[in-house]
Structure 1
Amino acid sequence: MKLEMICTGEEVLAGQIVDTNAAWLGNQLMDNGFEMHRRTTVGDRLTDLVDVFQERSTFADIILVNGGLGPTADDLSAQAMADAMGVELEENLAWRETLVLWAKERNVELNPKNLKQALLPKGAIVVDNPVGTACGFRVKLNRSWFFFTPGVPHEYKKMVIEQFIPFVKSQTNLQTKVEVTKLLSLGIGESDMAGRLEKLTWPEGITLGYRSYMPYLELKLIARDVSKEEQDKAILQATKVLGDGIVARNKGTLAAEIHELLTQREKTLTIAESLTGGEICSQLVAFSGSSHYLKHAIVAYCNEAKVALLDVSEQTILDQSEVSLACVAQMAAGAACTYSKVAESDFSIATSGIAGPAGGTVDNPVGTVVIAVKTGDQVVCQKIKFSAKRSRNHIRDLTTAIAFDMLRRAILGLSPIADYSYIERIESMVYSMKECRDLVTK
């Protein structure tokens, strides 16, 4: 079965907005065992819309059309579909009543622009929009079912999940079973990964896909009508070859993996950030339920804050600088103990470094980063060096990801320090919590 998508709107075509709806649909289809065969973007011009509807109607089985159903003059999807079919627009009385009720509940007066949203091609089947005023609809033209949805993301996504995916499933009993396993990697370049994987023999029906979104590289193992046993073999082969570079399965970020691990294991976390400026905390609190494990996060950007809030020794900073293993170890130890004078958090993480473009020294040039993870009675630290050619944001993003991976490994009982192919480690050190406290008193 051939599935396509037509995205409408001048703002999409001109690049004024990024079409996240299309990427989201592709993932939804894949997760449900379907593949998108083609995506077309067209502007808000009636003749262009009619042409593309007529053209694609002879190739695809189902086409989702996104956008162009609102009340304004440039919302032309319904009219274009009517013209492509050679029929008139007619008012759908049921949707008109929906609009009347909507206006009454909000004490507003309907006008012709609002009522335009009830005009559909003759014979169209209404697709309910439970969270908006623009209804969707579906019609058949040539070999294709056209399924129309608004472009507003929260309306569109609800309609896709509740109505479009079930409709697609209802149209075939012969769909190839497609399953996708996503392996998230860190510290492996795309050419390096491809070189390692593509010389191997894979089970029939398994294909590889790559998606790079810094600081991660995602490997997709796409299985078409492949047994669970063969899929497991392929996953095991990939993880063996890529080693420590694989940091999560079927998760989009390491923050998602950390959230799940801490929640499941009922462990607590505290955070001390300098270089990353709150990014570690921000990524975690994006998840509901993070308050169950996250006790606090301190952004100690200046040295005075490190001393006052985290009990870092002034002498350590004077002797070794804030970009040192001793400093970041004390930050992690201080964060673990700050929220309670009785109980320490199970884990803590700390970051410091020089993201640039200025601020580097001979000993610590731009791109030098120190990260610490407190686990049990130990604080494990490493000093790493990124290329100064990387941007400030890139250095901060990579630091956040590596801090998360150090924490992930600590939670799993592994050594927090891993080898990544393109990240240079300068040195590492393990301190006891007692040693960190003793440094403060010296």
Structure 2
Amino acid sequence: MTVAILSIGTELTRGEILDTNAHWLAGELTAAGFTVTAADTVDDDLDRIVTCIQRLLRTHLLVIATGGLGPTTDDLTAVAAARALGVDLVRNESALLAIRQRVESRGAILNPGHEKQADLPANAEVLPNTAGTAPGFLLTATGASIAFLPGVPREMKTMFTEQVLPRIRSQSPSNTHQIRLRTYGYGESIVGQHLAGLETLYPGLTVGYRVHFPEVDVKVHVRATTQSVARDVACEAAVEVRRRLGDVVFGEGEEEFPEIVGRAISARGWQLAVAESCTGGLLSHLLTSFPASSYFVGGAVTYANDAKTRLLGVPDQMLRSHGAVSAEVAIAMAEGARRLHQVDVALAVTGIAGPSGGTATKPVGLVHWAIAHPGGTSAQHRIFPGGRDDVRYGAAYAALDLLRRTAVNLSVR
């Protein structure tokens, strides 16, 4: 079944916020076996919303729309939906009761903005919102269906999973299967070179790529006669992807790189500390984005040379001789962090994130990182391209990859 996604909101068309809803929905719908053929965005203009709804319903059997269901005057989706389908806008008493109960449970008083959210197209099927006040709704016209969900990502995701997917799952052809492999270490072009010709080896296979720096996802998508056949072929193709890319593949599905690194550290029974300069706490942030109390002891952000000396014991003479951005200082920082926190392993990063501060011999983007662990101490360096955030994230991931490879005894790249 062909599906379209419609994102509604002037904040999207102006570029004020990123449309993460469409990205998430496309992935969920594809994983459920649907074929997403359009992802449109329209501003908060009544006539343009009506036109978009009518156009997408003419060309698709299913449309998922998000945004514009709130309490303010620029929330026009319900009015537009009613006009697009030629029905009246009516006060839905069951929706109003649910809104009232949720508002009062928060100790607030129902106001006209809240009540406006209960004004829905006649004959709409209400989709309860367990994460917010604005209900969603489902409409059907000329054999096509359109589901309207709030634009708040947390509410949208909950409602799609709880309310929409169970209603539409039976309409999926159920003859596809997708496996998402997560990679770090190669750029997109290199990954593509390694996987060249793969689609010719497996019937119904489509290989897709998604770059979210510094990672590259490989999406192994197979369409076959049945979902069981598609799953078997996708699994075979995924094995071949792993064989070709080797340990550049770090995970699958929703597994995140810092999570995988933490799992490797925990498996060794190691306690970890970090020392950061140019990353400014980013390493610690990435590691503690997931439960880390079993292995992460602490970190030190030693941005200034004086802090490197006072907290980590980096010698003044070393800083004067080699400079803060050097292998020697990175190693001294790692050893100092290991000594300070009395842990098994410590990681350190020091570099020039830019946009200024570089020299002919130490350009912007140069980063040194080091690891100190029971087997010894080692350091690496690289000049990362891009802006300040690119350098910081590139450095953090490179350091984490060194930590991962050390923990699981992989060769260091």
Normalising by the residue count of structure 2, what TM-score does the alignment of the two structures yield? 0.90
Instruction: Give, in angstroms, the shift of residue 321 of structure 1.
Output: 2.8
- Corresponding residue for 1:250? 253
The answer on whether the counterparts of 2:207 and 2:221 sit within 8 Å (CA) in structure 1 is yes
The answer on whether the counterparts of 1:185 and 1:248 sit within 8 Å (CA) in structure 2 is no
Instruction: Give, in angstroms, the shift of residue 14 of structure 1.
Output: 2.3
Which letter maps to 2:239?
Answer: L
Matched ranges for 1:133-148 at <5 A: 133-148=133-148
Structure 1: how far apart are the matches of 2:246 and 2:57?
A: 47
Compare CA radii of gyration and give the structure with the larger one: 1
The answer on whether the counterparts of 2:176 and 2:231 sit within 8 Å (CA) in structure 1 is no
Q: Note the alpha carbon deviations across 1:1-53, whole angstroms, 9 max, x for none.
A: 12221111222122222111111112222344444221121222222222222
The answer on whether the counterparts of 2:178 and 2:231 sit within 8 Å (CA) in structure 1 is no
The answer on whether the counterparts of 1:129 and 1:155 sit within 8 Å (CA) in structure 2 is yes
The answer on whether the counterparts of 1:5 and 1:63 sit within 8 Å (CA) in structure 2 is yes
DSSP 3-state at the match of 2:58: coil
Which letter maps to 2:43?
Answer: G
Q: Note the alpha carbon deviations across 1:218-242, whole angstroms, 9 max, x for none.
A: 2222223355554343223323333
Structure 2: how far apart are the matches of 1:307 and 1:107?
A: 53
Matched ranges for 1:33-432 at <5 A: 33-106=33-106, 108-172=108-172, 174-186=173-185, 188-200=186-198, 201-225=200-224, 226-251=229-254, 253-287=256-290, 289-340=291-342, 345-386=343-384, 390-415=386-411, 417-418=412-413
Instruction: Give, in angstroms, the shift of residue 109 of structure 1.
Output: 4.2
Which letter maps to 2:205?
Answer: I
Instruction: Give, in angstroms, the shift of residue 127 of structure 1.
Output: 0.5
The answer on whether the counterparts of 2:103 and 2:109 sit within 8 Å (CA) in structure 1 is yes
The answer on whether the counterparts of 1:184 and 1:253 sit within 8 Å (CA) in structure 2 is no
Q: How many residues align?
A: 408
Instruction: Give, in angstroms, the shift of residue 203 of structure 1.
Output: 1.0
The answer on whether the counterparts of 1:34 and 1:176 sit within 8 Å (CA) in structure 2 is no
Structure 1: how far apart are the matches of 2:329 and 2:371?
A: 12
Normalising by the residue count of structure 1, what TM-score does the alignment of the two structures yield? 0.85
Which letter maps to 2:388?
Answer: R
Change (3 A) 1:375 1:126: same
CA RMSD of aligned residues (A): 2.3
The answer on whether the counterparts of 1:57 and 1:143 sit within 8 Å (CA) in structure 2 is no
Change (3 A) 1:324 1:108: closer
Structure 2: how far apart are the matches of 1:264 and 1:24?
A: 32
Change (3 A) 1:145 1:319: same
DSSP 3-state at the match of 1:315: helix
Percent of residue pairs identical: 34
Which letter maps to 2:372?
Answer: K
Instruction: Give, in angstroms, the shift of residue 253 of structure 1.
Output: 4.3
Stretch of structure 1 that moved more, 318-327 or 242-251: 242-251
Q: Note the alpha carbon deviations across 1:117-154, whole angstroms, 9 max, x for none.
A: 11221111111011222111111111211111111222
Gaps (5+ residues) in structure 1?
419-442
Which letter maps to 2:354?
Answer: G
Change (3 A) 1:362 1:265: same
The answer on whether the counterparts of 2:345 and 2:374 sit within 8 Å (CA) in structure 1 is yes
Instruction: Give, in angstroms, the shift of residue 103 of structure 1.
Output: 4.5
Structure 2: how far apart are the matches of 1:214 and 1:355?
A: 16
Which letter maps to 1:267?
Answer: W
